[in-house]
Amino acid sequence: MSRSHDTPAPRPSAFRPRRLRTTPAMRRLTAQTRLHPEDLVLPMFVREGLEESVPIASMPGVHQHSLDGFRSALADAAEAGIGGVMLFGVPEKRDAVGSQATDPDGILNLATRIAVEEVGDELVVQTDLCLDEFTDHGHCGVLADDGSVDNDATLERYAEMALVQAEAGSALLGLSGMMDGQVGVVRDALEKAGHTSTAVLAYAAKYASSFYGPFREAVDSQLSGDRRSYQMDNANSREALLEVELDIAEGADVVMVKPAGSYLDILAAVAARSTVPVWAYQVSGEYAMIEAAAANGWIDRERAIDESVLAIKRAGADAILTYWAVELADRLTSR
- Full domain range(s) for residue 141: 36-334
Tens of each residue's pLDDT in the chain, 335 residues: 455 567 777 676 778 999 999 999 999 999 999 999 999 999 999 999 999 999 999 999 999 999 999 999 999 999 999 999 999 999 999 999 999 999 999 999 999 999 999 999 999 999 999 999 999 998 999 999 999 999 999 999 999 999 999 999 999 999 999 999 999 999 999 999 999 999 999 999 999 999 998 988 898 888 877 898 999 999 999 999 999 999 999 999 999 999 999 999 999 999 999 999 999 999 999 999 999 999 999 999 999 999 999 999 999 999 999 999 999 999 999 88
| 86 neighbors 40 (Cβ within 8 angstroms) | no
Structural domain contains residue 128? yes
pLDDT at 5: 62
Choose among 284, 277, 288: nearest CA to 313. Answer: 277
pLDDT at 221: 85
The count of C-alpha atoms lying within 13 angstroms of the C-alpha of 150, restricted to the half-sphere facing its C-beta, is 13
pLDDT at 3: 53
Structural domain contains residue 327? yes
Choose among 209, 213, 222: nearest CA to 261. Answer: 209
Structural domain contains residue 24? no
The number of helices, as runs of H, and strands, as runs of E, in the chain is 11, 10
Catalytic-residue membership of 313: no
Backbone conformation region of residue 199, classed left if phi is above 0, alpha if psi is from -120 to 50, else beta: beta
How far is 41 from 125, CA to CA, in rounded Å?
A: 10
Structural domain contains residue 7? no
Backbone conformation region of residue 226, classed left if phi is above 0, alpha if psi is from -120 to 50, else beta: beta
Catalytic-residue membership of 192: no
What's the structural domain count of the chain?
1
Task: Determine what percent of the chain falls in helix, strand and coil, rounding each to the nearest 5.
Answer: 45, 15, 40
Query: Catalytic: which of 93, 192, 258, 313?
Result: 258
Tell me the residue type at 178. Answer: M
| 157 neighbors 142 (Cβ within 8 angstroms) | yes
The count of C-alpha atoms lying within 13 angstroms of the C-alpha of 32, restricted to the half-sphere facing its C-beta, is 6
pLDDT at 237: 97
How far is 11 from 115, CA to CA, in rounded Å?
A: 61
pLDDT at 122: 98
End-to-end CA distance of the chain: 50
Instruction: Label the pairing between strands 63-65 and 54-55.
Output: antiparallel
Query: Catalytic: which of 93, 192, 206, 313?
Result: 206
Question: How buried is residue 240: exposed, middle or buried, by Cβ count under 10 Å (0-12/13-18/19+)?
Answer: buried
- Helix runs in the chain, H state only: 24-30, 67-80, 107-119, 151-168, 182-192, 213-218, 238-250, 264-273, 284-295, 301-315, 325-334
Q: What is the CATH number of the domain that holds 133?
A: 3.20.20.70
DSSP character string of 51-75: SS-EE-TTSTT-EEEPHHHHHHHHH
pLDDT at 86: 98
Choose among 104, 118, 101, 197: nearest CA to 157. Answer: 101
pLDDT at 4: 55
pLDDT at 59: 96
Choose among 181, 171, 318, 191: nearest CA to 256. Answer: 318
Structural domain contains residue 262? yes
Structural domain contains residue 25? no
Structural domain contains residue 14? no
Structural domain contains residue 46? yes
